[in-house]
Amino acid sequence: MVPNDRANRRQLSKAGAFIRTAGKHSIRKRKTASAPGSPPSSHTGLLRRFVFFGYERSRQPVVVGPMRRNR
C-alpha cells in the first residue's frame, strides 16, 4: 500500500466516523413522524444504534447510513 493511499483511507474513515456521529446525534426518539427535510424520528430508538459507515478501497467512497435489520 502506498503511503498516500494509507493517509487518504485514514482521512476518509475519519470523515465517515464524524458524519456518522453527527447523524446519530440528530435522530430524535419520538412517536410522531418527522417533517420533510428534517432529521428522521426513531419510534423505538433502534435507528440510532444501527447507523454505520463503510469505506470501499477500490473506488474510495465512504457510505454512511442505517444498516438493514431483519426480524
pLDDT digits 0-9 by tens, 20-62: 999 999 999 889 999 999 988 988 888 888 899 998 888 888 9
* Parent domain of 18: 3-66
Q: Count of domains in the chain?
A: 1
At 53, give phi and psi (nearest 5°).
-130, 155
pLDDT of 64 higher than 80: yes
Helix ranges (DSSP H) in 1-71: 3-26, 46-49
Q: Do the Cβ atoms of 69 and 46 come closer than 8 Å?
A: yes
Q: Tell how strand 51-55 and strand 62-66 pair up.
A: antiparallel
C-alpha cell at 62: 465512504
* Assigned domain for 30 exists: yes
* Assigned domain for 71 exists: no
Question: Distance between CA 24 and CA 47 in Å, rounded?
Answer: 8
Q: Per-residue pLDDT tens for 3-17?
A: 688 888 899 999 999
* Assigned domain for 29 exists: yes
pTM above 0.85, yes or no: no
